[in-house]
Amino acid sequence: MNATYDVLRRVTTATITTMLLKKGIRHCWMKGAMPLIPGGKRLVGPAFTLRFVPVREDLATPESWGKPISTRAAIEAMPEGCIAVADAMGVTTAGIFGDILVMRMARRGAVALVTDGVIRDKAGCLAANLPIFCQGTAAPASVNGLTFVGWNEPIACGGCAIFPGDVIVADDDGAVVIPLALVDFVAGEGEEHELYESWVVSEVERGVALPGLYPPNDEAKARYAAWKTKRG
């Protein structure tokens, strides 16, 4: 899988959505999960899921943070190299994680945190150097608006179904989920698509019109094949 991940790091999330569309999958881009700080490198990893439900005042209390089912316990279960994906139901009035939890995730070797919610303690979270994809920040703690109920189970995040072990790719355009069974297809087709688009850009730069070029007709396919051969 490491070699496949290396390929996916060269494939944009925009291209990935197009490759998945070929398989009929339209709900793969997580709405709201945008980079807290843009300009980072493209990230790839298996999904480690966390699930919140609406706030239940008798359960969502500061005391719940010390219970066996808690965000703290979930972080200790995260394997190195995972991308944590948290279903926060799109709630933007309570931060699901703060600086201490984000720092611990970073020390556990997580690659990134992706959520359709928000975080708190922004300055401390940034200091932890863990890439975060979210809707922004809020001062209140998670228990003000959400109840944490479990991890490593199927969740919804930003309108997408996420299963543990699905592959997450995240860049400046957001975060996408690739079903595990389609990872090899997306990597292979995506890499070729990126190469073709790089050729298209060079053609457009020299004044070639788009019809017949993108998508390609037979003449464009032949010129592209010749370019690939010459390129080596």
Q: Which two tokens stand for residue 141?
A: 């703690």
Task: Tell me if residue 199 falls in helix, strand or coil.
Answer: helix
Nearest alpha carbon to residue 21 among 186, 180, 167, 211: 186
What predicted TM-score, i.e. pTM, was given to this entire model?
A: 0.94
CATH assignment, 26-178: 3.50.30.40
Task: Tell me if residue 90 falls in helix, strand or coil.
Answer: coil
**pLDDT values of the chain reduced to their tens digit, one per residue, 232 residues:** 789 999 999 999 999 999 999 999 999 999 999 999 999 999 999 999 999 999 998 887 888 888 889 999 999 999 999 999 999 999 999 999 999 999 999 999 999 999 999 999 999 999 999 999 999 999 999 999 999 999 999 999 999 999 999 999 999 999 999 999 999 999 999 999 999 999 999 999 999 999 999 999 999 999 999 999 988 7
CA distance linking residue 57 with residue 76, whole number of Å: 25
Location of each CATH 3.50.30.40 domain in the chain: 26-178
Nearest alpha carbon to residue 97 among 141, 58, 64, 41: 141
Residues whose CB is less than 8 angstroms from the CB of residue 38 and which lie 6 or more positions away in sequence, other chains included? 172
